[in-house]
């Protein structure tokens, strides 16, 4: 792959991976999950797990790494939603 393609792949990966960082930090600090959708986070979680598996299948390190980062942030929020909505 050429430099531009690699650069765009990493840019997309970083952007996607850190997209949930502000929400994760806010959720941890405020411990308020009332406005967050459990269904949305479950669907997103399944999607990100699928991307990790697909990246592993393709032997795409950047796809696996960036989606694992997304998976960590999503998992934190998902656990907090499940724990606090009981």
Domain range summary for the chain, segments of one domain joined by +: 3-84
Selection from 54, 55, 15, 20 nearest residue 40 by Cα: 20
pLDDT digits over 11-40, tens only? 998 998 899 899 999 999 999 999 999 999
User: How high is the pLDDT of residue 40?
Assistant: 95
Q: What mean pLDDT is reported for the chain? A: 92
User: How high is the pLDDT of residue 6?
Assistant: 84
Radius of gyration of the chain (CA): 14
Write the CA distances from 32 to 37, 60, 79, 83, integer angstroms. Answer: 12, 36, 12, 11
CATH 1.20.1280.290 holds for 3-84: yes
Total-model pTM: 0.85
């Amino acid at each position: 792959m050429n430099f531009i393609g690699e650069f765009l792949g990493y840019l997309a990966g970083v952007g996607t991976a850190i997209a949930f960082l502000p929400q994760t930090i806010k959720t941890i600090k405020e411990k308020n999950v009332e406005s967050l959708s459990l269904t949305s986070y479950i669907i997103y979680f399944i999607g990100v797990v699928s991307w990790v598996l697909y990246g592993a299948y393709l032997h795409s390190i950047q796809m696996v790494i960036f989606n694992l980062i997304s998976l960590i942030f999503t998992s934190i929020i998902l656990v907090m939603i499940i724990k606090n909505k009981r």
